[in-house]
């Protein structure tokens, strides 16, 4: 039986697909969905970057790009969900009158197939882009270990210690020279911590029995936050310090002031 009470000739999949998009509830939901999608695309591209932590390294730049692209990929999915939600909210029923029963979308094969293919493609693009970006940038890997300045990062309930073995310096603040790649050798003397210099876009586990490596290149002068991102006991929330990206001269002066020797 069709909506009109007649028995139709068997419609082709194309007919069913087109007929679906001629329904007034579908048209309205689609309009809402397109608006939501456009809003999220604009938010992702224009404002997201302002809300995220400042970009101070090559890794943070790559992460920012990744977040923006992922927001764009997720926008149409969000559009469909919120579009239907908005339509449903604006056409809600109250009182004793039951809502009219419409044809079920789940039995419309062509529509279900179309949506499955579209969302699968979106997910596939996200996976491929994500993997490519992870390999091409230096996110959480140590590629420049040869010419990089080594910093041993040691987690300890509840303080971070930074050792510069080549310079003979140790500090509780993470000082780094600009535009020089740095290789973090991260470990812990007690429980598991997670080393997170926020604006550098690095977050890596600090374990007791295995050293983890991460590298990045600071690209912007200024202070940044260093936090612990793994619940590590009573004062976990206070296991934070600051760092600073400095010019090479300022960094050398700092090293000498700390009693170290410049490379």
d(CA 46, CA 200): 21
In the bound complex, what is the minimum distance in angstroms from residue 237's beta carbon to Cu ion? 8
Non-local CB neighbours of 125 within 8 Å, separated by 6+ positions? 73
Non-local CB neighbours of 8 within 8 Å, separated by 6+ positions? 2
- Sheet with 204-206, strands from edge to edge, namely 174-177, 241-246, 222-228, 193-197, 204-206
Nearest alpha carbon to residue 175 among 206, 218, 204, 213: 218
Binding site for Cu ion (CB under 5 A): 193, 228, 232, 236, 239
In the bound complex, what is the minimum distance in angstroms from residue 172's beta carbon to Cu ion? 15
d(CA 83, CA 81): 5
């Amino acid at each position: 039986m069709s909506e009109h009470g007649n028995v139709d000739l068997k419609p082709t999949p194309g007919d069913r697909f087109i007929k679906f998009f001629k329904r007034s509830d579908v048209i309205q939901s689609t309009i809402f969905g397109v608006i939501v999608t456009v809003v999220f695309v604009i938010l992702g591209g224009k404002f997201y970057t302002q809300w995220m932590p400042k970009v101070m390294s090559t890794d943070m730049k790559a992460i920012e790009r990744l977040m923006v692209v992922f927001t764009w990929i997720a926008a149409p999915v969000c559009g469909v969900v919120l579009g239907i939600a908005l339509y449903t909210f604006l056409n809600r029923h109250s009182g004793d009158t039951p809502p009219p029963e419409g044809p079920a979308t789940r039995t419309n094969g062509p529509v279900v197939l179309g949506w499955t293919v579209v969302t699968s493609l979106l997910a596939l693009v996200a996976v491929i882009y994500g993997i490519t970006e992870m390999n091409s940038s230096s996110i959480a890997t140590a590629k420049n270990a040869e010419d990089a300045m080594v910093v041993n990062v040691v987690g300890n309930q509840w303080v971070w210690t930074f050792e510069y073995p080549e310079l003979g310096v140790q500090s509780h603040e993470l000082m780094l020279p600009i535009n020089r790649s740095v290789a973090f050798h991260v470990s812990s003397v007690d429980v598991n911590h997670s080393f997170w210099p926020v604006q550098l876009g690095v977050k890596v586990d600090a374990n007791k029995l295995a050293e983890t490596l991460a590298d990045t290149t600071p690209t912007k002068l200024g202070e940044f936050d260093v936090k612990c991102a793994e619940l590590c006991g009573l004062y976990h929330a206070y296991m934070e310090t600051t760092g600073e990206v400095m010019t090479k001269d300022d960094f050398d002066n700092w090293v000498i002031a700390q009693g170290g020797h410049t490379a």
